[in-house]
Amino acid sequence: MPRPQKNRSVHRPPLHAGFKPTGVAARYLEDISLTLDEFEAIRLADFEGRNHDRSADAMGISRSTFSRLVERARRKVAQFLIEGKHLTIDGGAVHFRNNVIRCEDCGNLLNLAFDTKTTRCPDCGSTVWRAPATPAT
């Protein structure tokens, strides 16, 4: 029996949770799911250009685990680009370092500490918030 997977540290949720080719309705496309830890691996290695050692430390995992994770993520992104699939970002054993919320009225993004009691948007005063990576249902 394998040991349980520990949560991986993710900086924050992605701003967008789904991508698809233009001009094709999502219902006609095959889904491919990128987990939040795979998304974080791509962000650290490819977007920020960090080496695997530093990236693994940032996620709280071993270098070999990070290497397997980024390899899986790159394969899924390649499938999305080449085969034109519907890519969604969701799931995985993660915990967020930063809590990002979006104002529903003006679109302002705000990083909050988990113990923050903020109820109003500093830009427009709205009280309607949501996490930006929550897929539409």
Q: What percent of the chain has pLDDT over 90?
A: 48
Q: In the prediction, which pLDDT does 4 show?
A: 72
Q: Where residue 82 falls among pLDDT bands split at 50, 70, 90? A: very high
Q: Is residue 118 very low, low, confident or very high in pLDDT (cuts 50, 70, 90)? A: low
Q: Cα separation of 74 and 98, whole Å? A: 24
CA nearest neighbour of 101 among 128, 124, 71, 123: 128
Contact by Cβ (8 Å): 100, 80? no
pLDDT above 50 for 59: yes
Q: Tell me the whole-structure pTM to 2 decimals.
A: 0.67
Which amino acid, 104? E
120 pLDDT tier (thresholds 50, 70, 90): confident
